[in-house]
Amino acid sequence: MTIENIEMPKLGESVTEGTIEKWLVKPGDTVNKYDPLAEVNTDKVTAEIPSSFAGTIKEIIVQEGETVEVGVVVCTIETEGDAEATVEAVPAKEEPANEMPAAGSQKPAAPIRREAGAARYSPAVMRLAQENNIDLSLVQGSGNEGRITRKDIQRIIDSGEIPTAEAVQIEQSPKNEEQKAEAPVQSAPASKPAEPVSIPTAAGDIEIPITGVRRAIATNMLRSKHEAPHAWTMIEVDVTNLVQYRDSLKSEFKQKEGFNLTYFAFFVKAVSQALKEFPMMNSMWAGDKIIQKKDINISIAVATEDALYVPVIKHADEKTIKGIGRDINDLASKVRSGKLKSDEMQGGTFTVNNTGSFGSIQSMGIINYPQAAILQVESIVKRPVVMNGNMIAVRDMVNLCLSLDHRVLDGLVAGRFLARVKEILENISSDNTSVY
């Protein structure tokens, strides 16, 4: 028999860790190659870990609810092979500097060679610490063998108290030699994990457990608000002609195509067209540089009863209104039926959110990190509008609310971009617009 390791897979370009939401197998179960072993959540997607081997589940190493780095062994499988092979016989692999064992994992699947006193941090920990000026030598880790995890750093950031060298220097000063002899030097108090918030409960209160998806949403939103300096702006658009055009087509379109022609498809098309003309809006902050993305991939928000997913319309600028409408319909259906694939949530460069679908008329969206902007399309409402200087008419009006990362974008380019989206939408009509 041979013992094989199953590792936390990399489920996206920027994904560095995942949370085991639910194990689908238990020790002793027999599995075939490609059988699903566990459900895993990341800040990008919910997916399944497939088995790379056929055999018997030997040991579950990472428990449900635990978050571990990509590449960490989550379970082992006993396969048919050399009868004398054992776990110890698996060749020991020196741990790379950019890997870190799981926080709270039971034990590594194979011996790890480590230099005495050598500190090893994952890329996610290093990046987060550097961006927030956190000295990792002052942080007390909660992971395996005292390793510092991304959660440790995030707790420090959330607490607002960054550990400094002064606290350690005070403890090491001559005045405190006697105290040092009595107790070991401790890290700065801020390095301790933040305690959970204690909220009094009363009869009838309901406690709702945090799911992996909700935790991933919270983490990504907090990171966006913490790292990206948000700015907001809004523009009012007269979409009377668009409404009349769409309403004249919707019945015939539904009968012919099999899905509804929504207003949202027109807005996504207008945004993708404007992004081609203002490519800086299609950019991302990368620390020491700004990356202007070539492809225009529009992320759209789709809500379920307990979570929010952000699937992506790839190459939206190359698609017709009909093509975009079909993608919106298909992606929303997959989200609500639980059939959305991981690659259908990756690669987004700009987010358009249909907040108007539940009656909102003004909102401030949180940017979908690491994108540089998100556009909220509000509800279309009839309002009296002054026309031609001295006439009042009832028109179909909509607010477009833009949140932007002020590190990447300034008001000038954002204003011009919104003005172009407004111009495109206000000129949609049966005379100059085709949905095909």
Give the Cβ contact number of residue 43 at 10 Å: 22
Contacts for 276-280 with beta carbons within 8 Å, 24 or more apart?
A: 276/317, 277/420, 278/413, 278/416, 278/417, 278/420, 280/408, 280/409, 280/413
In angstroms, the CA 123 to CA 16 distance is: 8
Give the Cβ contact number of residue 126 at 10 Å: 15
Six token digits for residue 297? 């991939």
At position 215, the amino acid (one-letter code) is R
At position 405, the amino acid (one-letter code) is D
In angstroms, the CA 73 to CA 53 distance is: 14
Supply the residues annotated as catalytic. Answer: 406, 410
User: Strand pairing partners for 4?
Assistant: 77
In angstroms, the CA 79 to CA 234 distance is: 60
In angstroms, the CA 272 to CA 421 distance is: 9
In angstroms, the CA 313 to CA 352 distance is: 10
Query: Rounded to the nearest 5°, which phi and psi values hold at 71?
Result: 95, -10
| β-pair type (308-309, 381-387) | unpaired
| β-pair type (350-353, 298-300) | parallel
Three-state DSSP at 36 gives strand
In degrees, to the nearest 5, what angle opens at C-alpha 162 toward C-alphas 209 and 373?
65
In angstroms, the CA 178 to CA 170 distance is: 13
Contacts of 229 (CB under 8 A, 6+ apart): 405, 406, 407
In angstroms, the CA 358 to CA 7 distance is: 41
Half-sphere exposure of 112 (CA within 13 A, CB side): 18
* DSSP per position, 323-368: HHHHHHHHHHHHHHHT---GGGGS---EEEE-GGGGT-S---PPP-
